Structure 1
Amino acid sequence: MNTHSLNDDDPLARQKPPRRTNEPVVWSLFGAGGVLSAMAGPMLILITCVLVPLGILLPTETLGYERVLGFVRWWPGALAILAVVSLFMFHAMHRLCHSLHDFGFHTGRGAQLVCYGFAALITIICALVLRSLQ
């Protein structure tokens, strides 16, 4: 015989089932973009914008048009570029969305849709451009 009855005094009876959310996906993209931008971003900028163009690290021909185009046309290279652009964008848009809230703009789902939608749009555009160069 079941002696346990559901009534208002039972805290388990008052609990609502957990609500489904997209937070794990958003936070994983934010975290991956943050790690990538913190670890690889400064290195990529230093190498591609300073050290190679000045001939300090490698010859200046290393970043010539034909070599860079060859890297973009190589599928692992295109995938790396897509990952960097996509993760940087999702990280930046997540920060922007939460910064709006911190500055007092409580826009709710609207800001999330705009920010994450923009990051997704840039990712799609990047993928299409990379695909057109194949």
Structure 2
Amino acid sequence: MTTSRRGSRRPTAEPLAWLAFSAGGMAAALLIPVLILLFGVAIPLGWVAAPDFAHLHSVLRHPITVVVLVGLCVLALFHAAHRLRFTLWHGLRLQKARGAVTVACYGGAAVGSVVATYLLIRG
């Protein structure tokens, strides 16, 4: 909640945006480098044996794996949306278009989250 100079309180969604930003940054910082190292370096270079398609498919179809990947995608998208919103506001000085920038950033993250969830659940 924010307070004005008069002491009246207006509830805002800002704490939720910061929560999504921090959770997305933490999840992305912990999981994405490991996935890149594993699937982008270690398996192609032969450091780790590549899993066969059936095994990898069964792991990706497991409900816990789907929940983790959906969570990673959603949190990373909202982290990026929050970072982009503040870059547009402060870096490009688009404070006059605050509403449009906010809707575009978080709306894009919401649409991307729905698409990612659909693709991961559909398989």
Out of 80, 83, 87, the position equivalent to 1:95 is: 83
Please report the TM-score for the alignment, with normalisation by the length of structure 1. 0.79
Aligned sequence identity (%)? 29
Deviation at 1:16, TM superposition (A): 4.5
Corresponding position of 1:105: 94
Matched, 1:35 2:23: no
Deviations 1:14-57 (A, max 9, x none): 8252111111111111001111222222222111111122221x
Do 1:71 and 1:78's aligned partners in 2 also have CA atoms closer than 8 Å? no
Please report the TM-score for the alignment, with normalisation by the length of structure 2. 0.85
The count of corresponding residues between Structure 1 and Structure 2 is 117
Q: Secondary structure at the match of 2:8?
A: coil
Do 1:29 and 1:91's aligned partners in 2 also have CA atoms closer than 8 Å? yes
Higher helix residue share: 2
Corresponding position of 1:80: 68
Q: Give structure 1 stretches of 5+ with no counterpart.
A: 1-13
Which entry has the higher C-alpha Rg, 1 or 2? 1
Q: Give structure 2 stretches of 5+ with no counterpart.
A: none
Return the alpha-carbon distance in structure 2 between the equivalents of residues 68 and 23 of structure 1.
39
